[in-house]
Amino acid sequence: MATISAMMVKELREKTGAGIMDCKEALTECDGDMSSAVDFLRKKGLATAQKRAGRVMTAGTIQSYIHMGGKIGVLVEVNCETDFVANTDDFKEFVKNIAMHIAATNPAGIRPEDVPEDIIKKEKEIYHAQAVEMGKPEKMIDKIVEGKLNKFFQENCLMNQQYVRNPDITIGDLLNDVIAKIGENIVIRRFVRFQLGEES
């Protein structure tokens, strides 16, 4: 059994933002393995997030972010359960980071179900044509299209995207980490992104 030092707990705490006792428990459970302990805390955070999912959220904030000297602008609404949490630095920083991420990645929607049907249809047609062009057997084409569509969702849906400031995690992971840390349910409600000269 590995000895869990205060330095290890401090390092894990800095990496995850979790409480001291949670970090100690994670390191003990994972026999001092730092990356396993990070995963352990993330899974625990996910369980906490799922428990809180049904709660009503009437508080929160709308954050704006302007990028490239006024060429890209984002408005994002993020909701939480109480004004107390909405006014914490952790919550404000999270919302600001989400706005910056949206400016950088231009997601098509928050979740796959938010992507307009006409975009999905167009993507499917492109993937189908590509598979036919490559001479793939007919019975494999649907599977290929489905695989490419899942990759499209991963790259273009906010919750599935790799977080620009830490590509090891998705925005969904980041959200669950913040929920676990703050102790309230949080939802990214909606966003709009403007780019100068873009067709509306």
Structure token digits, residue 24: 């100690």
> 0.75 exceeded by the pTM?
no
* Residues facing residue 109 across a β-bridge: 157
Q: Which residues of 59-69 are buried (b: 16+ CB within 10 A; e: fewer)?
A: bbbebebebee
| Contact partners, residue 18, CB within 8 Å, separation at least 6 | 12, 26, 41, 45, 180, 181
Residues of CATH 1.10.8.10 domain(s) within the chain?
A: 6-52
Residues of CATH 1.10.286 domain(s) within the chain?
A: 116-155
- 116-155: which CATH topology? GTP Cyclohydrolase I; Chain A, domain 1 (1.10.286)
| Contact partners, residue 3, CB within 8 Å, separation at least 6 | 32
What's domain 59-110+157-195's architecture? 2-Layer Sandwich (3.30)
> Could you read off the pLDDT tens digit of each residue along the chain, which spans 200 residues?
668 888 888 888 777 666 677 888 888 989 888 888 888 877 776 555 566 566 667 799 999 999 888 899 999 999 998 899 999 999 999 999 999 999 999 999 999 988 888 999 999 999 999 988 888 888 899 899 999 999 999 999 999 999 999 999 999 999 988 988 888 889 999 999 999 987 65
- 6-52: which CATH topology? Helicase, Ruva Protein; domain 3 (1.10.8)
DSSP symbols for 151-184: HHHHHHBGGGSEETTEEEEEHHHHHHHHHHHH-S
Type and span of the H or E element at 192:
strand 187-195
